[in-house]
Amino acid sequence: MKNIIKKISLLLGYFLGLLCTVVLFILRPFLHIKFFHIDTMNFGRFIDQINLYQNHKHIRDAENKSFFYILVFDNKNFCNLALKKISRRYLNVYDQNIFLYWTIKFLKFFKIESHLYKIMNPFEYETYYTKKYNNINKDWGWSYPIHLNLTKEETKSSLEILEKFNLNKNDKWICIHNRDQVFKKKTYLNPKDEIEHSYRNFDINLMLDAAEHFASLGYFVFRMGREQEKCLKTKNKKIIDYAFSEHKSALADIYFLKNCTAYFGSNSGISTPCILFKRPISHINYATTTLNHLTYYKTLPCIIKRIRCKNSGNKLSIREILEKNLIKIVKNSEIVKKGYELIDNEKVDIKELAVEVGNYLDGRYTYSKEEKNNLERFNDLIIKGYEKKNLGMKKIIIGKNFLSKNLDLIN
């Protein structure tokens, strides 16, 4: 009975979508409407899309002037309510309703692209922007501009939360984060999505020694995250497990990431504000299958997950990864199907990277001739292995200790 009701509801929904689409085609000679769906449940895409839509203004201005753009939140739930408020300060966005939902669903299902507005993803736009304006950012983050910020009132509210942790705006802090299964399992509508991205997850306690090192250098450390699986076990008062704090807020999430001295952790969506606001970033446990993404924005030294053959137990070199066409894989099922797995960075490697990052931030980071050669060999392999259209303009910076201990990567 439930299945019958579900099928009837689906048919009625698509019928409603059909009627609305017919109206769109009737209006088209006079008013060509295009819909832009904003992803509200993926933190990285949410903030990226707000900024990219504004960056695309010059592209829209060059299009047919009869286009009328309707922006719609794709969900009634939001991963960050502060972002919802901020987005409405810059964009005229409609809440989800039954008419908009089924119209857009119908257009997408039948691939009626003429009424759907698409923007480039951050990697595509970085390439477009740097070529068009010959403007390559030599510092952190994307080269293209950011078009959103916090108001004085929002900054004041965030500072009040900062003070609850006995910090003020002149203090320096590092944001750390580990991706795990909890956030998407609790909030995402499609549980299969988390399963397919599980290779990016790792245990927060692998970062404990690194956090302790940053604290020893005088930095406060904020462990970020809305929903996390495990607490960070420490008695160090400079290390704050913000993800489990009663003072946590959606607005402070953005403020802490926007104003951190550096970000140290996974390449999940929570790192996106740091890239947008051009903060120094050091990724750990970076998925080796998407290494080309690190060529689009400058980072601090990073370390990557090695790929291992399940049958032989052998770790693959960059050359082998490219030869076996494991690049650009973003689904765990595809990695497993090919007989491989990604290995988490060891605690000692993460600690050593934290030492390197600390030295970098203090201006004490140097390379020996051999370390420079190793890094050049690594980047040469990436450049030769990827098509030019899938590469940015930046060199990948791998932690020198990690690379020296994993020379088989570049052999």
Decide if pLDDT at 193 tops 80: no
Average pLDDT over residues 331-335: 87
Average pLDDT over residues 374-382: 96
* Phi, then psi, of 298 in degrees rounded to 5: -70, 135
Taking only the tens place, the pLDDT of each residue in 312-322 is 999 999 999 99
Percent of the chain at pLDDT > 70 equals: 98
Percent of the chain at pLDDT > 90 equals: 79
Decide if pLDDT at 189 tops 60: no
Query: Helix, strand, coil % (nearest 5) of the chain?
Result: 50, 10, 35
Average pLDDT over residues 340-347: 95
Decide if pLDDT at 341 tops 90: yes
Decide if pLDDT at 6 tops 80: no
pLDDT given for residue 138 in this prediction: 79
Contact 173, 256 (CB under 8 A): yes
pLDDT given for residue 163 in this prediction: 96
Decide if pLDDT at 236 tops 80: yes
Of 254, 259, 313, residue with least CA distance to 44: 254
pTM metric for this prediction: 0.93
Average pLDDT over residues 257-261: 97
Average pLDDT over residues 67-96: 95
pLDDT given for residue 1 in this prediction: 64
Average pLDDT over residues 316-340: 89
Residues 6+ apart with CB under 8 A from 9: none
Type of residue at 67: F
Decide if pLDDT at 186 tops 80: no
Distance CA 221, CA 223 (A): 6
313: left (phi over 0), alpha (psi -120 to 50) or beta: left
Task: Place 180 in a pLDDT band, splitting at 50, 70 and 90.
Answer: confident
Q: What is the SS3 assignment for 73?
A: strand
Average pLDDT over residues 55-84: 90
pLDDT given for residue 2 in this prediction: 65
Decide if pLDDT at 4 tops 90: no
Task: Place 188 in a pLDDT band, splitting at 50, 70 and 90.
Answer: low
Indicate the angle between helix axes 43-55 and 122-133, nearest 10 degrees. Answer: 30
Task: Place 255 in a pLDDT band, splitting at 50, 70 and 90.
Answer: very high
Distance CA 323, CA 364 (A): 37
Better-scored residue on pLDDT, 195 or 307: 307
Four-residue CA torsion sign, 166, 182, 296, 368: positive
